[in-house]
Structure 1
Amino acid sequence: MTAEPVDTVLEYSEWDAFGLPTLANRAATATLAHLGLAPEQFEIVLMGCDDARIAALNTSFRDKTTATNVLSWPSEERGADAPGEAPVLPVPNDGDDPTELGDIAIAYETCMREAEEASIAPTDHVTHLVVHAVLHLLGYDHIDDKDAALMEALETEILGKLGVADPYGA
């Protein structure tokens, strides 16, 4: 059996019935494969939490005191050299030891509220957020307009392959 790239830790019980581990592995696998990376050679830890936990993390790491939908912590800086360029992708370790890409935290209440407000399926929204977070772990960003255009185009392509509508469409 091929190893899955995401090790999911569920800190909030609402994620249990949602199927977050399966969804996260599907989204991460699609993202890595789309970029030509072998998913089984990489490892990501994803924590499914609640708004209180992610607000505390957001305060600690970003000095923002509110809950957010998803946070990511790359294991190393992988940003591009110039705006609009793709970052240098990680090289997998030799042997059976997967390369750690980093950690992700995702908040249940915020994700469900955003999905409801946007009238989209919660599974589609969470899939988008996992793809988005995995791209962050790989060095993609959206602070600069050129970087945002590149990242959003990749998200749309990956989500399309997963049967999820363009989240940036009209």
Structure 2
Amino acid sequence: MLDVAVQTEPEWDDGADWDMLAEAAVRIAIEHSPHAGWLNRALCVEVTVRLTDDDEVRQLNAQYRGKDKPTNVLSFPMVQPDLLETLANTDDGEAILGDIVLARDVCVREAAEREISVADHATHLIVHGTFHLLGYDHQGEAEAEAMEALETRALASIGLADPYNRD
């Protein structure tokens, strides 16, 4: 079972169904991970997606990453990567994977640069953030390639183009 709580600030009120979009993005990422089986169990997997402004993201980025600037997406995992496997053996209860936070103006600007909708770009960023909650990272070249390949396959399965422009 999947429970995605979406917290949307007013600047994100552009007519998109952010609740549906966020749940679909988190679900598709989990389905394309080794943890897809979680979705067919009584275990309730919880993720919070916060859609906010650049100022809040800048503050979080400064506080938690030492970078005093807004970024497109931040992820805050609640389960250590080495403990994710133990959830595979859990039949009930709750697993709070963590929080994903998106910055509105950064997302709008990046979407315009890529000539895609804000909703499509936000979907990619939520998928990306979910993979971080699942223990993936992109610090080294091999890790980045593996994570990008997962994202690309997940997005392709819902009809979205490769965000890394590999044709």
Same fold (TM over 0.5): yes
SS at match of 1:18: coil
Q: Which among 42, 45, 49 is matched to residue 46 of structure 1?
A: 49
Q: Deviations over 1:50-75 (max 9, x none)?
A: 00111111111111111111100111
Corresponding residue pairs, total: 159
8 Å Cα contact 1:45/1:103 also seen in 2:
yes
Q: Which among 95, 101, 107 is matched to residue 99 of structure 1?
A: 95
Q: Deviations over 1:121-154 (max 9, x none)?
A: 2111111000000000000000110100100000
Question: CA–CA distance in 1 between the matches of 2:86 and 2:73?
Answer: 22
Query: Match of 2:144, as an amino acid?
Result: A
Q: In proportion to residue count, which structure has more helix? A: 2
Question: CA–CA distance in 2 between the matches of 1:112 and 1:90?
Answer: 38
Q: Which among 66, 70, 73 is matched to residue 70 of structure 1?
A: 73
- Of 156-165 and 40-49, more deviation after overlay is shown by 40-49
Give the corresponding residue for 1:13: 10
Question: CA–CA distance in 1 between the matches of 2:24 and 2:102?
Answer: 16
Query: Match of 2:147, as an amino acid?
Result: M
Query: Match of 1:15, as an amino acid?
Result: W
8 Å Cα contact 1:24/1:127 also seen in 2:
yes
1:12-161 aligned within 5 A: 12-16=9-13, 17-35=15-33, 36-39=36-39, 41-78=44-81, 89=85, 91=87, 93-95=90-92, 97-161=93-157
Unmatched tracts of structure 2, length 5 or more? none
Unmatched tracts of structure 1, length 5 or more? 80-86
Query: Match of 1:41, as an amino acid?
Result: C
Q: Deviations over 1:72-92 (max 9, x none)?
A: 01112216xxxxxxx964515
Give the corresponding residue for 1:84: none
Question: CA–CA distance in 2 between the matches of 1:102 and 1:111?
Answer: 21
Question: CA–CA distance in 2 between the matches of 1:51 and 1:63?
Answer: 16
Question: CA–CA distance in 2 between the matches of 1:19 and 1:109?
Answer: 18
**Structure 1 vs Structure 2: percent identity of aligned residues?**
38
Taking structure 2 as the reference length, the TM-score comes to 0.87
8 Å Cα contact 2:75/2:129 also seen in 1:
yes
Question: CA–CA distance in 2 between the matches of 1:89 and 1:18?
Answer: 35
SS at match of 1:57: helix
Q: Deviations over 1:19-49 (max 9, x none)?
A: 2211110011111122223337311011110
